Structure 1
Amino acid sequence: MSAYKIEAGTAQHIGNRPQQNDRVALYTAAQAPGYVMAVLADGNNSAIAADQVLHTSKHLFDEFRVGDSANLPRLQELLRNIAHEVHQVVTMNPIAAVAEPQSALALLVLTPQAQAVWAHLGDARLYRFSGESCAMRTNDAAYVEHLVKHDRLPLAAAKKHRGSRLLNNALGNSMKAPFVTVGWHEGLQAGDALMLCSDGLWQLFGPEELAAAVARNTPRQAAERLIGKAAERAQGKGDNCSMAIIKLVAPPQEAPGYTVEKMRRAV
């Protein structure tokens, strides 16, 4: 019997924006039984790039085949390939020459071997919770280090990358190829949870607040409460708010199945 079962859900709210440019989805793999993918794309200017994220993620995940055991480097390569293929398709779109649609990205794959592999770029975030504690959250540290080492930028300038069109780390940015940060965790267990979310959510909450909300509620209840609180805190200036929540919960214990034959043997 599995050490845990998965409870998952997605949620979105338009906030105070004129349209919803975020996209979020949960997928199973056509040729990799037991594998689950969560995808979150935070679109900028339009939903064109975010829509492409969902299309490419589903297509490449369905093509993914596994051997007898999970191969973490191959899964990392899969997530990088999704990001780079989306970037290429979006930048080739004729609309990109005028509107330049862009998107931040968070990807997560869970394996049957209790492993999690993730990738992110831009302002989308991924959290791993252990009970009501935040065990890990993604950030821009790796990208800042990349700008300093690879692009030879001063640290102060690298930290201000969000304010520069040239340095903005996003799918669809025609001025710079995306930098994808990957990570993984082995030994998932009941009581753990993972969350992907857009900046319309994470900028309004501390990590421990998110962990507590997820731990104390079902994914649907947690999403509803977080969206409600986000709207309250945004005070009429809320961004698109999207999330995918995956909780690992202990499977229900089987009730004792006593039969007459078993009772005779016991006697």
Structure 2
Amino acid sequence: MSIAIDACAAQHQGDRKEQQDRVAILPHARRKGVALAVVADGMGGHTGGALAAEQVVHTAKTNLDHFIGTDESPQHMLQNSMQEAHTMIKASRFMNEMDPHSTAVMLLLQPGRVTWGHCGDSRLYHFRGKQLVRRTIDHSYVEHLIATGKITPAEALNHPNRNVLLASLGGQEDPKITLDEVSELVAGDSFVLCSDGLWAYFDDLELGTLIADNSARQACEILIDKARQRGKGGGDNLSLAIIKLIDALPPKKPAPPPGFVPRPRG
């Protein structure tokens, strides 16, 4: 049976004064079955973070529109999108006297192939059913401490420096961009892109279960509601995009015209 796509993007301002996240699911203008999902979490004071995140989405859309797939690899397209966004955000600080930065996580969907890249601590999760297959590793101080064995994942949840990033788009240093891909896709696979305002409130099993048991739209609504409750009035901006691969229903046979009587065989 062929595979269909169930997708939804959503966000909430949380308890912040401004929405500095940006999220989008962008279909390719000319290539059927090709789409790009993007989540960007902007930082940099009033309006600066929002402008940085907006630049990430704008640059990604421009690169998607020019992506043919024959002379450029998906990894190269994603790498270029983030590198170009970094350059544009960095340049904007001289014009706007701000210090804008943004995380980025992008997923390029093509028939039989999903490629993604990220910079910062906005995440991508790949589930098969309810089980986590893999997730991106944050470019953050606490993930560095976990990797070097200095703290445990449980200790990282409440570490005082858990929001310190080691990489972002728009910073003084060249961004660290990590790429990955999966080409063996099955119905039941799902991909979640989200900012830390959402993933901070869920463990892998709960996140996978809620997505497996609901449509993409319903899962977005439930996850936002739960994150808002758990934020207890101190919640960050939160954004997510969910892409679920599901069994495509066979096309319905056209109904016979009124008064049609089938002829007996023989």
Q: TM-score, normalised by structure 2?
A: 0.83
Q: Which amino acid aligns with 2:186?
A: Q
Residues in 2 aligned to 1:99 and 1:226: alpha-carbon distance in whole angstroms: 33
Deviation per residue, 1:150-206 (Å, 9 max, x gap): xxxx986xx99x7798x73000112x1101000000111111110100000111100
> Which residue pairs with 1:10 in the alignment?
9
2:237 is aligned, of 224, 237, 240, to 240
> Which residue pairs with 2:76 in the alignment?
77
Matched, 1:125 2:128: no
Point out 4+ residue stretches in structure 1 off by more than 6 angstroms: 162-165, 256-263
1:170 is aligned, of 168, 171, 196, to 168
Deviation per residue, 1:64-106 (Å, 9 max, x gap): 1123xxx8x7110110000110010111114577321100110
Cα distance change, pair 10–163 in 1 and its aligned pair in 2 (3 A) = closer
> Which residue pairs with 1:66 in the alignment?
69
> Would you say how many aligned residue pairs link Structure 1 and Structure 2?
247
Contact 1:56 1:86 (C-alpha < 8 Å) held by counterparts: yes
Cα distance change, pair 163–98 in 1 and its aligned pair in 2 (3 A) = farther
What are structure 2's unaligned runs of at least 5 residues? 151-155
Matched, 1:103 2:106: no
Residues in 1 aligned to 2:215 and 2:67: alpha-carbon distance in whole angstroms: 30
Higher normalized helix content (fraction of residues): 1
Percentage of identical aligned residues: 38
Q: TM-score, normalised by structure 1?
A: 0.83
2:246 is aligned, of 246, 249, 261, to 249
Cα distance change, pair 109–263 in 1 and its aligned pair in 2 (3 A) = farther
Deviation per residue, 1:190-241 (Å, 9 max, x gap): 1111010000011110011111111111111111111111111111111111
Cα distance change, pair 180–93 in 1 and its aligned pair in 2 (3 A) = same
Residues in 1 aligned to 2:236 and 2:102: alpha-carbon distance in whole angstroms: 14
Contact 1:219 1:247 (C-alpha < 8 Å) held by counterparts: yes
What are structure 1's unaligned runs of at least 5 residues? 148-153
> Which residue pairs with 1:212 in the alignment?
209
The alpha carbon displacement at 1:258 in A equals: 10
> Which residue pairs with 1:150 in the alignment?
none
Residues in 1 aligned to 2:202 and 2:263: alpha-carbon distance in whole angstroms: 54
Residues in 2 aligned to 1:254 and 1:164: alpha-carbon distance in whole angstroms: 49
> Which residue pairs with 1:34 in the alignment?
33
Cα distance change, pair 3–224 in 1 and its aligned pair in 2 (3 A) = same
Matched, 1:54 2:51: no
Cα distance change, pair 262–33 in 1 and its aligned pair in 2 (3 A) = farther
The alpha carbon displacement at 1:137 in A equals: 0.7
SS for the counterpart of 2:239 is: strand
Contact 2:197 2:237 (C-alpha < 8 Å) held by counterparts: yes
Residues in 1 aligned to 2:95 and 2:171: alpha-carbon distance in whole angstroms: 9
Residues in 2 aligned to 1:237 and 1:96: alpha-carbon distance in whole angstroms: 32
Contact 1:32 1:64 (C-alpha < 8 Å) held by counterparts: no
